[in-house]
Amino acid sequence: MTAIAAAGAVPAGAATRPALTLEAARSNVTVYRYVEDDDGEGDGGVYVDGDLGIYAVADPKQAFEVRATRKDYSSPLVATLVRKGKDRTLPVPADLTGLTDFSRTTFRDSKGKVVTTSTSSFCANSYEPVRRSPKAPATSPYPQSCGDARNPYALGAVWGLQAGYATSLSGNEDYYDGEDEPGGLSDLKPGSYTATVSVTPAYREALRIPVVKAQATVHVTVVDVKEDDCRTARGCRRADPNRAASAKVEKAPKKLTGSKVKPSGPLPDLRSLPAWGIVSDGRYLNFSATVWNAGPGRLVVDGFRDDKDADLMNAYQYFFTASGKQKGYAPVGGMEWDARDHHQHWHFKDFARYSLVSADLKTSVVSGKEAFCLANTDAVDYTVKGASWRPQNTDLSTACGGRQALGVREVLDAGSGDTYEQFREGQAFDLTTVKNGTYYIEVAANPDSVLYERSTKNNVSLRKVVIGGVKDKRTVVVEKVGVIDEPPVEIEEPELAHR
């Protein structure tokens, strides 16, 4: 992780300066809306082009940084504002995607009557933070995306805004509001309004924001447009704010570099989260599995063409000093070319294993998923030592290489996890010969201890399930883990399953 400021004396007034303030970019804004026709199935909604231009601005002398983490799955989340002098505990967030009910937006008509009110969560991470002060640092080290809303077993998140930077508090410019999302711009009819955005009292007090700096007001004109007009306004759809950015991936070297050495320095630490997204589908047991790197080192594996087999690569794990200087490498198995439809890239063979085991922990069924294209799909815990707040290959545009690749590099950064959703025949567990009863879904990282890591004692997780039903109509009851409430599972062909 990148240090924001050197340790030292607490600046004068640091204890009383507000951690954030609110500002309006303009006093008057115009937003354009298009009402989508309802096709009779309740799909009607409203596209809105434009936002209020309200920004949260960080203290010019120190960054706004919040770390949210949970001790274990039976404990609530704890959010801490990191400040020079003394950290502060913030209200408990609902999840790892941001500070719950951070701000309130109220729209009033020309007579001062309240038309609609809504509350919003706040995550300071942004793809496009802007400098508010010319003296602000050149770049921001904080993550571009917010915590993982998809994975219910994520453990920690970092939300930050560089000193002297600002980020939109009122949304990006293009977005869509469905009929079931009241309280926003989509509730407004064409006309003129006054919008007031304010930090809610609990956060205003915790962040030491004076009332006058904890709110901003803007006059809003809402204009209806026709469909053709809307389509010229950058599509009138907003990208998912939780979607991770696709960064340029690293290229593997054409030959081994460095020296073959005994592994040392900051090693990765591979761990398994509890299996999740578990559901029965006829005779199959579908599930999702996440293996993550608790750091402090990165897992870096390079593949090099095998001289005798065009469909194989020899894999080597690389080791680095704490400062990032490469020290050497060691052989760690191999990679194989996967020519199947929707795959067609190189898979590392020794990353994880998924099994359905009986109550006495004897293996019953092993998933056919046995080779992996690594990607930093999930922000599991960015508070761990060595966590990369801006990892590369965060989606399926990974560096897993094409058929003619001379070399391949696969990486799992500290703090990130790689999730595979087992919804395909041969990967989901086939329950045809499995008797009704109690079982465990076992997720094992580095199952054959091929990779070098800090510890192998935390590589395995077990999730209890009770299987019932009859042939081709099997049922599953999943034991809850701690206080975690998982969202319902929909049976579909997920994009992640193609890896």
pLDDT in tens, 250-261: 444 444 444 456
CA distance 171 to 165: 16
Which amino acid, residue 62?
A: Q
| Listed range (223-227, 334-338, 384-388) with the worst mean pLDDT | 223-227
- HSE toward the beta carbon, residue 3, CA cutoff 13 A: 6
User: Looking at the domain assignment, is residue 245 inside a domain?
Assistant: no
Residue the block writes with tokens 């942004």: 126
Cis peptide before 152 (omega within 30 of 0): no
38 and 169 in a single domain? The answer is yes
With left for phi above 0 and alpha for psi between -120 and 50, is residue 150 left, alpha or beta?
alpha
Pick from 205, 216, 218: nearest CA to 19: 205
The model's confidence at residue 44, banded by pLDDT at 50, 70 and 90, is: low
220 and 273 in a single domain? The answer is no
CA distance 238 to 48: 9
User: Looking at the domain assignment, is residue 252 inside a domain?
Assistant: no
User: Looking at the domain assignment, is residue 271 inside a domain?
Assistant: yes
Beta-bridge mates of residue 302? 316, 409
CB 24 within 8 A of CB 216: yes
The predicted structure's pLDDT at residue 232: 33
Domain count, the chain: 2
Q: Is the sign of the CA dihedral 266, 271, 2, 383 positive or negative?
A: negative
**Selected residue with higher pLDDT from 276 and 247:** 276
Token couple for 125: 């991470």
Interior CA angle at 274 toward 268 and 277, to 5°?
A: 125
Beta-bridge mates of residue 474? 469
Beta strands 20-24 and 363-366, pairing class:
unpaired
pLDDT at 182 over 70: no
Domain end call among 236, 269, 301:
236
For residues 353-359, give the mean pLDDT: 92
Task: Please state, as a whole number, how many other Cβ atoms lie within 10 Å of the Cβ of residue 92.
Answer: 12
Q: Can you tell me whether residue 213 is helix, strand or coil?
A: helix
CA distance 35 to 227: 8
The model's confidence at residue 31, banded by pLDDT at 50, 70 and 90, is: confident
The predicted structure's pLDDT at residue 81: 97
Domain end call among 204, 236, 268:
236
220 and 303 in a single domain? The answer is no
User: Looking at the domain assignment, is residue 9 inside a domain?
Assistant: no
190 and 277 in a single domain? The answer is no
Residue the block writes with tokens 């690569």: 313
The predicted structure's pLDDT at residue 169: 86
What are the distances in angstroms from CA 158 to CA 102, 285, 499?
A: 16, 34, 28
Name the helix (H) or strand (E) containing 316. strand 312-320
State residue 77 phi and psi, 5-degree precision. -70, 150
Beta strands 215-224 and 28-35, pairing class:
parallel
CA distance 241 to 239: 6
CA distance 25 to 40: 40
CB 22 within 8 A of CB 214: yes
Residue 427 sits in a domain whose CATH number is 2.60.40.2360
376 and 478 in a single domain? The answer is yes
For residues 243-269, give the mean pLDDT: 57
Token couple for 336: 């194989």
Whole-number percent of the chain with pLDDT over 90: 49
**Burial class of residue 310 (count of CB atoms within 10 Å of its CB; 0-12, 13-18, 19+):** exposed
pLDDT at 427 over 90: no
288 and 218 in a single domain? The answer is no
Pick from 463, 468, 298: nearest CA to 388: 298
The 10s digit of each residue's pLDDT in 451-482 is 999 999 999 999 999 999 998 899 999 999 99
Task: Please state, as a whole number, how many other Cβ atoms lie within 10 Å of the Cβ of residue 312.
Answer: 18
| Listed range (159-163, 187-191, 198-202, 273-277) with the worst mean pLDDT | 187-191
State residue 212 phi and psi, 5-degree precision. -65, -25
The predicted structure's pLDDT at residue 497: 40
The model's confidence at residue 179, banded by pLDDT at 50, 70 and 90, is: very low
Domain that holds residue 379: 259-498
User: Looking at the domain assignment, is residue 14 inside a domain?
Assistant: no
3-state helix, strand, coil in the chain (%, to 5): 5, 40, 55
DSSP state for residue 349 in the 8-state scheme? S
Residue the block writes with tokens 């790689």: 418
350 and 494 in a single domain? The answer is yes
The structure's pTM equals 0.77
pLDDT at 491 over 90: no
User: Looking at the domain assignment, is residue 12 inside a domain?
Assistant: no
216 and 282 in a single domain? The answer is no
226 and 269 in a single domain? The answer is no
CB 343 within 8 A of CB 274: no
CA distance 6 to 120: 33
Pick from 143, 153, 160: nearest CA to 77: 153
User: Looking at the domain assignment, is residue 104 inside a domain?
Assistant: yes
CA distance 334 to 349: 6
CA distance 183 to 48: 13
| Listed range (340-344, 348-352, 428-432, 467-471) with the worst mean pLDDT | 340-344
Q: What is the rounded average pLDDT for all residues in the chain?
A: 81
209 and 317 in a single domain? The answer is no
Domain end call among 236, 270, 302:
236
pLDDT at 158 over 60: yes
275 and 173 in a single domain? The answer is no
314 and 197 in a single domain? The answer is no
User: Looking at the domain assignment, is residue 3 inside a domain?
Assistant: no
For residues 424-435, give the mean pLDDT: 80
The model's confidence at residue 424, banded by pLDDT at 50, 70 and 90, is: low
For residues 396-405, give the mean pLDDT: 63
DSSP states along 63-109: -EEEEEE-SSTTS--EEEE--SS--EEEPPPSSTTSEEEEEEEEEE-
The model's confidence at residue 71, banded by pLDDT at 50, 70 and 90, is: very high
